[in-house]
Structure 1
Amino acid sequence: MQVLYANQRMGGAPSDHAHSRVDTALCKSACKAGDWGRDLSREERAGGGADEAVRGTCEDASVCKRFAVSVGYWKDPYIQYFVRQAKERKAPEINRGYYARVQGVSYLLEAFLKKTECNCQIVNLGAGMDTLFWRLKDENLLPRKYFEVDFPMIVARKIHNIKSKPPLSKPIIETHSGDSLLIGLKR
């Protein structure tokens, strides 16, 4: 599993991991500890391995969410930067299922963040192309620390999207101005 990024708004990371810009944080040479920024193996890039079916759910779930957003089940201005538009309609049951899940998780997270006054951390396991970080930032509900974890192949794709699309990178840069920021792959 891999760590995508960490929001260290109120805490501090070791000084050799302190970065104020996404481009700097993503440089392979920026992090000296461990193997942050390590190149993916040929098998990881090709998507081989026993976890292929699990990794495949990332794309399928993301496309279904994008379709549900496009027909008005909920608003998510960030999903368009991660996922192509579905070529075919999705069944209403699928849209309703994702709506229920997204709304349920959002309701519980909002209650938790308000109860803790955002003095907490969120670890999003199997985050895929989830847009939770940006949606929480828009609602001024970012926790003290925020982490996303997923397979290297998925993390690499998400990092690429973040780096190449200012509506994704700008909120991260703004959140970390003067604070520490760590984005990369960790084995």
Structure 2
Amino acid sequence: MRHPVPASSSSPMMSMPRMGRDDVIKGTDDDAIISKLQVSAVDLGYLDDPFVKHFVKRPSRRPPLINRGSYLRTRSLDALTEQFIRGTLGLSTKTVSPPSTLSAATSSSTSSSSPAPPTPADATPLVSPIRKQIVSLGCGSDTRYFKFKSEGLSAHKYFEIDFQESTAKKAAVIKKNKAFTDIIADPELKLGLGGTELYAKDYCLLSGDLREFVDVIVPKLKAHGFDTSIPTLFLSECVLIYIQPSDSDAVVDWVGNNMMASLFVVYEQINPTDAFGAMMLRNLKARRIELPGIHAYPSLVSQQERFMSRGWLAAKAVDMNDLLASLSDVEMKRISSLEIFDEVEEWQLLAQHYCVAWAFQVKAQSENERERLVDFFYSSVST
């Protein structure tokens, strides 16, 4: 049985001393973009992303199993991001119940007209919008900022962080392409740090290594307008798993301890010790790719405990089978019509080894403010 890894749209950051291994990891971003283009997730109609084509040099066809994995991963993270952006802060002093599943995947990422998540019946949204920000860790060639802003959805600030080599390539593509600069729509958009970074009013592409998150990346974020007092979404799309647990834990610890209100979303591999998981690791090792974090957080329960053991208020993790089951009948029928898919048993095995996890933390000054923010985050992760 082959092991078709649903590639991440993020370019994972890992240890700098082993440059050969770093180069391999940086190269996974190219695999991810290719898997979303051509006769793959985008061109087949699984996803709608007019920006991804600008990063592809050699498009290639991918098998249905990878197309479905790419679709479901992207759709789920898009839904969580969209609900976070759309969310309002109500005046209720009553929190809603935690959702039993990660039902954000039921919101379509292929349409810009999906409704905003509901607020509690006794809540009244504030007249002024909530200032929010998003931090994409290991952004690679991800186009989420551009896709959402083109649909009229944007945060107060959107930060992207990756290796300097990766940000240099991305900055060059963005700066020279009107499709991107028109979306950014900032006449003061400028390159920085020798062409490896981009700065705009609501978008910053910054270079950095996650092992230096506290000492180097955080000060850089703050220098470009990062605000620890406003609700913030941190996205880690197959990124934390590529660095040592002590380094990824330092990121989670800092966010939980220093942000007033934060939502952390993680997509990564799990279940490394069963037969399929062992084969998955062998196949990755053959490509010189290692996953230092997979044994620290190998299950859905441990993915939740990563946050709950550090005092976060709520956490949930589900595998890709759960996410597929959460699709509506209409959406399932739509994707089933796109191409022949007869790898059901292989999909079920593969999907057990990838998960989406979320957690949120709130450190508000007053009880009322705390409850309003808790309501906001629960509405961000449920329909």
| Structure 2 residues not aligned, in runs of 5+ | 1-15, 89-128, 190-199, 209-215, 217-383
In structure 2, do the counterparts of structure 1 residues 156 and 96 end up closer, same or farther at CA, with 3 Å as the change threshold?
same
Aligned: 1:82 with 2:55 = yes
Aligned: 1:173 with 2:185 = yes
- Cα-to-partner distance string for 1:25-70 (whole Å, 9 max, x where unaligned): xxxxxxxxxxxxxxxxxxx9xxx45412221111111110123211
**Residue pair 2:159, 2:206 contacting (<8 A) in 1 also:** no
The residue that corresponds to 1:70 in the other structure is 43
Aligned: 1:102 with 2:114 = no
| Structure 1 residues not aligned, in runs of 5+ | 1-43
Name which structure has the greater RCO, CA cutoff 8 Å, separation 6+: 1
2:42 is paired with a residue whose SS is helix
Higher helix share: 1
Q: Distance in 2 between matches of 1:161 and 1:135?
A: 16
Deviation at 1:84, TM superposition (A): 2.7
**Residue pair 1:136, 1:142 contacting (<8 A) in 2 also:** yes
- Cα-to-partner distance string for 1:117-152 (whole Å, 9 max, x where unaligned): 562110011111111111110122111110001111
Deviation at 1:181, TM superposition (A): 6.6
The residue that corresponds to 1:111 in the other structure is 83
- Which TM-score applies when normalising by structure 1? 0.66
Q: How does 1:130-169 map to 2 (within 5 A)?
A: 130-169=142-181
Q: Distance in 2 between matches of 1:181 and 1:100?
A: 26
Aligned: 1:60 with 2:31 = yes
Matched letter for residue 69 of structure 2: G
Q: How does 1:16-55 map to 2 (within 5 A)?
A: 48-55=19-26
Number of residue-to-residue matches in the alignment: 141
**Residue pair 2:160, 2:204 contacting (<8 A) in 1 also:** no
1:119 is paired with a residue whose SS is coil
**Residue pair 2:135, 2:159 contacting (<8 A) in 1 also:** yes
**Residue pair 1:155, 1:185 contacting (<8 A) in 2 also:** yes
Deviation at 1:174, TM superposition (A): 4.2
Q: Distance in 2 between matches of 1:85 and 1:118?
A: 41
118-127 or 100-109: bigger deviation:
118-127
Matched letter for residue 62 of structure 1: I
| Structure of greater Rg | 2
In structure 2, do the counterparts of structure 1 residues 147 and 179 end up closer, same or farther at CA, with 3 Å as the change threshold?
closer
Q: Distance in 1 between matches of 2:78 and 2:167?
A: 22
**Residue pair 2:133, 2:156 contacting (<8 A) in 1 also:** yes
Matched letter for residue 47 of structure 2: W
Q: Distance in 1 between matches of 2:141 and 2:202?
A: 23
**Residue pair 1:128, 1:155 contacting (<8 A) in 2 also:** yes
The residue that corresponds to 1:123 in the other structure is 135
**Residue pair 1:68, 1:99 contacting (<8 A) in 2 also:** yes
Q: Distance in 2 between matches of 1:56 and 1:170?
A: 28
**Residue pair 1:79, 1:131 contacting (<8 A) in 2 also:** yes
* Alignment RMSD: 2.7
- Which TM-score applies when normalising by structure 2? 0.34
**Residue pair 1:113, 1:119 contacting (<8 A) in 2 also:** no
- Percent identity at matched positions? 35
